[in-house]
């Protein structure tokens, strides 16, 4: 098996020619992000960080992640409806993590107030890496499919981003590979349009709300750099129905100008809100004061459909992912044993760090070989995990303290390494050793007792330098890539 890049033999001059074309092609075709220089959304745009060529993904792996997605969608929705499971899983976390406790309080208030809106919309992304099974060939050699296993990194239930720009990457790579003299079969760079599916989910939820005059709000941050990615989803909504009005609002807008009427309808600037799509509100920095929390509560108490509802957001916690790896946990939600096995096969080893014998054993394991683990807090957006000696330091400082319950310990995945050129500002342009993370998008609409919509809608491939522990494009590590299917 060979990578595309190793088969590409180009002079530096030709590479630079290709690069100057792809940089402008990226800008012209919406592979772009805000410069972030002035903190104002979209004032200036730059080409988004991207890989010059696609990275290889074996066809069975891509097929497999796509085929499991509807099962994962349903699983996560069902978990979010199971109060007992959520409470049992999160009870120790919320005692020591004030951020998670705030979400829990919002959730409890929603429960007390009674159900105003039975439907929940999930626009999900389920992230995986291909783990090398064989230490002797890992990480520097190309590994055949049977020596790799697909492992879930995390399941995102809130603000799962990057699907808009991901939809442009196959065209960019057709161009770059074509200029490099590579002739590919069409099925090696398939079309991939996650934003179309995400928009279909939004449109369907808006229709289900049942008021054609009501608006959709995208809850966004004023310092957002990923505006173009969000706009892609918005444009695809207009492709379906240009009469739907989408308004971009911050939590402060909702706090200042939004209110609940006598029927719990959320009204903002005179418009009734059918659907609230959060592209903000997933990280502590998004709640700088009580006003943002009050706005979030207002949204949650309303009749508007939420994407996600607070309980669906809680379900995306790393702690829930870890609890789902326990024997019997999946069976609580999935009746088909074959599906249980298929999902469980993708789970990496994970350990609770609660202050008990089980947690003590996990700490011991991590201290013995910290390089084999990732220590994860209940946070989103990249850049929050601990690795290597930071794990050791953490446990030395927190051993025997209940603060450690806010984290989970996870088996570290050592993904298959390839070569590619990463194009991102401040990084020298050179052929590098890289690793990839493959995410699959899914759309789900359901209530406590019904499933209304459930489908998979494309994928995101992110690639980073081999030596980088963390991931995340906006955390500064990864770039947009696209699978070259072999």
Residue with the two structure tokens 């800008």: 27
**Nearer Cβ to Mg ion, position 380 or 481?**
380
Picked from Mg ion, ligand ADP, none, the partner binding residue 384 (CB below 5 to 8 A depending on kind) is ligand ADP
Read off the tokens for 108: 């409890």
Q: Tell me which of 32, 73, 126, 154 is the catalytic residue.
A: 154
State the sign of the Cα–Cα–Cα–Cα dihedral 424, 425, 430, 435: negative
Residues 468, 474, 479, 481: is their CA dihedral positive or negative?
positive
Contact 75, 334 (CB under 8 A): yes
Nearer to ligand ADP, 103 or 255 (CB): 103
Site string for ligand ADP, 88-127 (x = CB under 6 A): ---------------------------------------x
Closest approach of Cβ 189 to ligand ADP, in Å?
Answer: 23
Contact 62, 483 (CB under 8 A): yes
Residue 324: which of Mg ion, ligand ADP, none does it interact with, CB under 5 to 8 A by kind?
none
The answer to whether 381 is a known catalytic residue is yes
**Among 303, 302, 314, 290, which Cα is nearest to 103's?**
314
Distance between CA atoms of residues 112 and 299, nearest Å: 15
Q: Which of 462, 464, 471, 472 is catalytic?
A: 462
Instruction: Kindly identify the residues of this chain, within the stretch 423-452, that bind ligand ADP according to CB under 6 A.
Output: 437
Q: Angle at CA 394, nearest 5°, toward 362 and 106?
A: 85
In the complex, the smallest distance separating the C-beta of residue 200 from Mg ion, rounded to whole angstroms, is: 23
Question: Considering the rule CB under 5 A, would residue 156 count as an interface residue with Mg ion?
Answer: yes
Are 475 and 482 a contacting pair, CB within 8 Å? no
Instruction: Mark the segment that binds ligand ADP (CB under 6 A) among 86-94, 191-199, 241-249, 405-413.
Output: 405-413
376 belongs to the catalytic site: yes
- State yes or no: is 380 an active-site residue: yes
Binding-site partner at residue 470 among ligand ADP, Mg ion, none, CB < 5 to 8 Å by type: ligand ADP
Number of chain positions touching ligand ADP (CB under 6 A) = 20
Q: Are the beta carbons of 169 and 458 closer than 8 angstroms?
A: no
Other Cβ atoms within 10 Å of 200 Cβ, number? 18
Query: Quick check: is 154 catalytic?
Result: yes
Coil, helix or strand at residue 328: coil
106 token code pair? 């919002």
Q: Which of 32, 102, 159, 161 is catalytic?
A: 161
Site residues, ligand ADP (CB under 6 A): 127, 153-154, 348, 374, 376, 379-382, 384-385, 410-413, 437, 470-472
Q: Please identify every residue annotated as catalytic.
A: 125, 154, 156, 161, 318, 376, 380-381, 462
């Amino acid at each position: 098996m060979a990578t595309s890049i190793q088969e590409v033999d180009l002079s530096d001059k030709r590479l630079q020619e290709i690069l100057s074309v792809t940089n402008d092609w990226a800008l012209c075709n919406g592979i772009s992000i805000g410069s972030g220089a002035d903190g104002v959304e979209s004032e200036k745009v730059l080409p988004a960080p991207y890989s010059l060529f696609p990275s290889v993904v074996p066809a069975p792996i891509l097929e497999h992640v796509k085929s499991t997605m509807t099962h994962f969608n349903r699983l996560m929705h069902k978990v979010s409806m199971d109060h007992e499971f959520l409470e049992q899983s999160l009870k120790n976390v919320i005692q020591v993590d004030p951020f998670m406790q705030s979400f829990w309080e919002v959730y409890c208030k929603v429960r007390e107030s009674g159900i105003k809106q039975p439907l929940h919309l999930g626009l999900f992304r389920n992230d995986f890496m291909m783990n090398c099974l064989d230490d002797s060939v890992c990480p520097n050699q190309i590994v055949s499919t049977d020596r790799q296993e697909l492992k879930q990194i995390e399941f995102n239930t809130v603000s799962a981003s990057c699907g808009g720009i991901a939809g442009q990457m196959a065209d960019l790579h057709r161009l770059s590979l074509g200029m490099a003299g590579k002739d590919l079969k069409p099925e090696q760079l398939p079309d991939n349009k996650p934003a179309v599916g995400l928009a279909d989910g939004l449109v369907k939820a808006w229709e289900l709300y049942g008021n054609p005059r009501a608006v959709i709000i995208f809850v966004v941050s004023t310092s957002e750099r990923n505006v173009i990615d969000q706009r892609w989803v918005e444009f695809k909504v207009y492709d379906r129905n240009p009469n739907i009005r989408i308004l971009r609002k911050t939590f402060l807008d909702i706090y200042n100008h939004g209110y609940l009427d006598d029927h719990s309808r959320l009204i903002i600037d005179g418009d009734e809100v059918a659907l609230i799509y959060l592209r903000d509100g997933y990280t502590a920095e998004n709640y700088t004061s009580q006003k943002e929390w009050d706005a979030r509560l207002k949204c949650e108490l309303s009749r508007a459909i939420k994407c996600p509802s607070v309980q669906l957001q809680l379900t995306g916690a790393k702690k829930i992912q870890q609890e789902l790896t326990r024997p019997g946990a999946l069976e609580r939600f999935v009746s088909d044993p074959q599906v249980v096995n298929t999902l469980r096969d993708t789970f990496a080893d994970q350990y609770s760090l609660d202050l008990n014998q089980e947690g003590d054993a996990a700490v011991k394991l991590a201290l013995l070989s910290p390089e084999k683990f990732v220590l994860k807090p209940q946070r989103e957006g990249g850049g929050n995990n601990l690795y290597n000696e930071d794990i050791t330091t953490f446990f030395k400082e927190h051993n025997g303290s209940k603060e450690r319950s806010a984290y989970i310990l996870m088996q570290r995945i050592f993904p298959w390494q390839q070569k590619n050129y990463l194009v991102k500002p401040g990084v020298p342009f050179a052929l590098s050793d890289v690793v990839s993370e493959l995410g699959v998008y899914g759309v789900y609409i359901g209530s406590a007792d019904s499933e209304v919509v459930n489908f998979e809608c494309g994928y995101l491939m992110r690639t980073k330098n081999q030596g980088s522990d963390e991931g995340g494009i906006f955390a500064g590590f990864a770039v947009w890539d696209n699978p070259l299917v072999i």
